[in-house]
Copies of this chain bind each other. A is one copy, B any other.
Amino acid sequence: MPAILLDRVFNPWDEIQRYQTEELRSGLYGATASFVGTMRDFNIDEKVSLMTLEHYPEMTQHFLNELCDRCLKDYDINDCLIVHRFGDIHPGEPIVLTAAWSAHRAQAFDACRNLIEELKSHAPFWKKEATDKGERWVHDEQQSDEK
């Protein structure tokens, strides 16, 4: 149930695979739900060329650790995983992965979705986009337009 912060490009499918191969007993779980958030190359009708993700390292790690702990308590799951980028991110690159393993698909889906919803609402990250018209901080109201 780790939460991993990364300052480099990552492959979410490799991360899921590596984690379940190394940490989970094959045959234990029947359902794996995952979500991957990827940087789009447009947002609110403007072309975005680069995004910089600022975070508050200790608090972000602390928050995501607690989120995983709560998720394991609140849902009937075997395990869960969060991977999140920070720093400079280019269009098409993955930003975040959340995943949950369970015996039951409803619990896997609900836990996976809870992870990303809580992360988006409360984890201390801030996006700054570079567009044709210059840099701008993404505001929370704009998130809904984004993904």
CA distance A41 to B26 in the complex (A): 8
Interface presence of A10 (CB below 8 A)? no
Q: Which residue of B lies closest to A17 (CB)?
A: B13
Indicate if the CB atoms of B31 and A36 lie closer than 8 Å: yes
0/1 interface trace, chain A 1-32, chain B, CB 8 Å (1 if under)? 00000000001011011000000001111111
A25 to chain B minimum Cβ distance, whole angstroms, is 9
Contact of A33 among B26, B35, B102 (CB under 8 A): B35
Q: Which residue of B lies closest to A94 (CB)?
A: B32
Contact of A30 among B38, B102, B112 (CB under 8 A): B38
- Total interface residues on A, CB under 8 Å, equals 35
The chain A residues found within 8 Å of chain B, CB to CB, are 11, 13-14, 16-17, 26-42, 91-92, 102-105, 108-109, 112-113, 116, 146-147
Seed contacts A26-B92, A30-B38; 12 additional CB < 8 Å A-B pairs:
A13-B14, A13-B16, A27-B38, A28-B40, A30-B40, A30-B146, A30-B147, A31-B37, A31-B147, A102-B147, A103-B146, A105-B116
